[in-house]
Structure 1
Amino acid sequence: MNPRPADEAAIEAAAAELAAGRLVAFPTETVYGLGGDAASAEAVAAIYRLKGRPADHPLIVHVSGAEQARKWARWNDAAQRLAEAFWPGPLTLILERQAEAPGWACGGQATIGLRSPSHPVARALLAAFERLGGSGVAAPSANRFGRVSPTRASHVIDDLGDEAPLVLDGGACGVGVESTIVDLSRGRPVLLRPGGLDAARIEAVLGVPLGAADAAAPRASGTLEAHYAPRTPLELVPAGVIAARLGELAARGIRAVVWSRSRPGRGEAAWEPAEAGSEAYARALYDTLRRLDRAGFDRILIERPPDGGDWAAVADRLRRAAVGAPARD
């Protein structure tokens, strides 16, 4: 049976799969991950192959905590402070890789991304893998590269089909968008990707503002311009012009569905009500995108969310999804 309920026996079986060099899919608080032994060249290569991911696009290595992280990276004071404040949780730290640590998951870079997830299934899997001698699980999202991330076990099966490895079903992910990524490898901390942890909370712990990514920043997971994309063309539209845009599309025979906080002026339009708060919206984001993508419309119109603060991660994912979706006619 796949997916398999994430009970103790299933978690032990999944850890054995990892120890044997095979892949498993498992829930984290952010999205479901496609995991393999980060110390195994063959296992990491299998992740890239199954996802169809470019070889120079790094993965995130999941660890149980700071003790395991030190085996992989050159730890520093900023990393320690952030780990004490936010691990386990939706925060990935980019650090210089230890010279003796395997670099298979690093996309050819001297830096490595590390995260300690808080989901109880992920934590139990990491602990079971450690008991078998493992030290870290490389795990991007468990979907085809560039597509909508999975937040339910069924999403993993939908994407990977018969190629899916053992999938641990731990229910819907509680955060719903990927981790926040902070680069600590170059002195001043830099925000590489907004995510499940608000940047303002990170800045409060560090006592300095996070810099913006520049051309010299390390490559990091999920930061390509086109990503998280449905197969249906997608537009981000300000709330005040949704009705007019629907009229334009209808005049051309283009059937659209709208995801917005209030019903659009054209009462006959297909409408999906959007969550008002950023956290609830983030939890619903990928599941809703998948449902709308399967609904058979020609276009998905989404009310443009606020850009800053609590909405930064949602705005980032929707912007990249709009870029990555098929070109509009």
Structure 2
Amino acid sequence: MARLLDAHNPQHLQQAVDALADGRLVAFPTETVYGLGADAGSDVAVGRVFEAKGRPADHPLIVHVPNVECAYELASALPPVAQKLIEAFWPGPLTVIVPRRPGVAGAAAGGQDTIGLRCPAHPVATSLLEACAQRGILGLAAPSANLFGRISPTTAAHVAEEFGDDVLVLDGGACEVGIESTIVDCSRDRPVLLRPGLLTRGEIEAAIDEPLLERDAEAPRASGTLEAHYAPRAKLRLMSADILQTALQVLGENLPKLALYSRTVRAPRGMLHRRMPDDAAKAAHELFAVLRELDAQGVSLIWVESPPSAPEWDGVRDRLVRAAAA
């Protein structure tokens, strides 16, 4: 099992900083999910992240920074739209894609000329990043602390299920948001939404006073934007309430190894079922934990009722669509 450290113990926090300074990996909590962190300025350390996750080296990582000053050290520029977003939402669950400073964090950027930067709001992440900055580590490259393509972790126990003794885990409790950050590409003429999250399109557009464009073929590669991602071992199928209800009626009492996660559709007696919250933020908070719980029951299928079409559900819907595509 991975080695758990108490994030609120100063000695354990210092142990994590020392490990990162030595080029080792440390998993730590953010308000979104747990990240698997490495010194973003060390291509060797970042390479260990790709190796541990089984992640393609050209699939870029988000770099977490303690403040805007460190962001300026990693970026060649922070365009005006990025500055507006940073002022409105940092620290918080928003990543901006900006031009990368040449010669800095090349491995973390997946070899691209752009880099994704985020300042997390979690107090443990803040303390860790500030302590790292005092040691000359300007940022931590930190994708979700799980094997590539699988369900993101929202507790230290989830991380411990994924990795062996080589990974230290700062245990800071359950993550508040529960799904990864919103990603906005600010590196080109117009801002582009690359990945939805807790922040809605409307909130972002109000902050920048212009519309967000949809992802296009020229967009930089970014974390969590592959067609298949966030997947449990069981096959996940996403269905409307009507189709889901019909499918359950067809099954009758002949229940396969099936679990159900739904808002409005009731499960037959004897079926493993978890109810999806009516509130989008609450659903996001529990989503990955519920999928892990159902997966741990050894089911072969997880049927999920499609979330509402309202914009506040975009982040949850995005994760479920990608999980179903795996």
Is TM (by shorter chain) over 0.5? yes
Give the match for residue 20 of structure 1: 22
Give the match for residue 6 of structure 1: 7
| Range with bigger deviation, 309-318 or 267-276 | 267-276
How far 1:268 moved relative to its partner? 4.0
Mapped to 1, the partners of 2:278 and 2:317 lie a distance apart of: 14
What is the aligned-residue identity percentage?
51
User: C-alpha offsets along residues 253-297 of structure 1, whole Å, 9 cap, x if unaligned?
Assistant: 623211112352634433211111000000000000000011122
Give the match for residue 158 of structure 1: 161
* AA in 2 matched with 1:182: V
Give the match for residue 168 of structure 1: 170
Mapped to 1, the partners of 2:302 and 2:284 lie a distance apart of: 17
Over 3 Å counting, the alpha-carbon distance change for 1:208 and 1:173 in structure 2 is same
Mapped to 2, the partners of 1:280 and 1:165 lie a distance apart of: 30
Whether the aligned pair in 1 keeps the contact of 2:65 and 2:129 (CA below 8 Å) is: yes
Mapped to 1, the partners of 2:20 and 2:257 lie a distance apart of: 45
Give the match for residue 93 of structure 1: 96
2:214 to 206, 212, 218: 212
User: C-alpha offsets along residues 217-264 of structure 1, whole Å, 9 cap, x if unaligned?
Assistant: 000000000000000011111112323212444677623211112352
How far 1:298 moved relative to its partner? 2.5
User: What does 1:306-321 align with in structure 2 at a 5 Å threshold?
Assistant: 306-321=308-323
| Range with bigger deviation, 145-154 or 301-310 | 301-310
Whether the aligned pair in 2 keeps the contact of 1:51 and 1:143 (CA below 8 Å) is: yes
1:51 aligns with 2:53: yes
Give the match for residue 256 of structure 1: 258
* AA in 1 matched with 2:4: P
User: C-alpha offsets along residues 156-213 of structure 1, whole Å, 9 cap, x if unaligned?
Assistant: 01111x2451100000000000000000001100000001222211100110010000
Mapped to 1, the partners of 2:255 and 2:271 lie a distance apart of: 13
| Range with bigger deviation, 219-228 or 13-22 | 13-22
Whether the aligned pair in 2 keeps the contact of 1:249 and 1:256 (CA below 8 Å) is: no
Whether the aligned pair in 2 keeps the contact of 1:261 and 1:275 (CA below 8 Å) is: yes
Whether the aligned pair in 1 keeps the contact of 2:64 and 2:142 (CA below 8 Å) is: yes
User: What does 1:39-118 align with in structure 2 at a 5 Å threshold?
Assistant: 39-73=41-75, 74-118=77-121
* AA in 2 matched with 1:194: P
Whether the aligned pair in 2 keeps the contact of 1:157 and 1:164 (CA below 8 Å) is: no
Partner of 1:3, secondary structure, is strand
Over 3 Å counting, the alpha-carbon distance change for 1:39 and 1:114 in structure 2 is same
1:129 aligns with 2:153: no
* AA in 2 matched with 1:298: S
Over 3 Å counting, the alpha-carbon distance change for 1:107 and 1:308 in structure 2 is farther
Mapped to 2, the partners of 1:276 and 1:308 lie a distance apart of: 12
List alignment gaps of at least 5 residues for structure 2. none
| Range with bigger deviation, 198-207 or 225-234 | 198-207
Partner of 2:19, secondary structure, is helix
List alignment gaps of at least 5 residues for structure 1. 325-329
Give the match for residue 289 of structure 1: 291
Whether the aligned pair in 2 keeps the contact of 1:234 and 1:301 (CA below 8 Å) is: yes
User: C-alpha offsets along residues 76-122 of structure 1, whole Å, 9 cap, x if unaligned?
Assistant: 21111111111000000001111242311011111100000000000
Mapped to 1, the partners of 2:120 and 2:66 lie a distance apart of: 8
* AA in 1 matched with 2:161: D
Give the match for residue 327 of structure 1: none
Mapped to 2, the partners of 1:102 and 1:237 lie a distance apart of: 41
Over 3 Å counting, the alpha-carbon distance change for 1:215 and 1:252 in structure 2 is farther
Whether the aligned pair in 1 keeps the contact of 2:263 and 2:277 (CA below 8 Å) is: yes
User: C-alpha offsets along residues 298-319 of structure 1, whole Å, 9 cap, x if unaligned?
Assistant: 2111111023410000000000
* AA in 2 matched with 1:120: P
* AA in 1 matched with 2:299: F
Mapped to 2, the partners of 1:164 and 1:322 lie a distance apart of: 31
TM-score norm. by structure 2 comes to: 0.95
Partner of 1:78, secondary structure, is helix
Mapped to 1, the partners of 2:211 and 2:274 lie a distance apart of: 37
Mapped to 2, the partners of 1:80 and 1:197 lie a distance apart of: 17
Whether the aligned pair in 2 keeps the contact of 1:25 and 1:168 (CA below 8 Å) is: yes
- What's the C-alpha RMSD, in Å, of the aligned pairs? 1.5
Partner of 1:167, secondary structure, is strand
Mapped to 1, the partners of 2:321 and 2:256 lie a distance apart of: 22
Partner of 2:138, secondary structure, is coil
* AA in 1 matched with 2:282: A
Whether the aligned pair in 2 keeps the contact of 1:38 and 1:44 (CA below 8 Å) is: yes
Mapped to 1, the partners of 2:141 and 2:267 lie a distance apart of: 47
Whether the aligned pair in 1 keeps the contact of 2:153 and 2:289 (CA below 8 Å) is: yes
Mapped to 2, the partners of 1:121 and 1:199 lie a distance apart of: 28
1:146 aligns with 2:149: yes
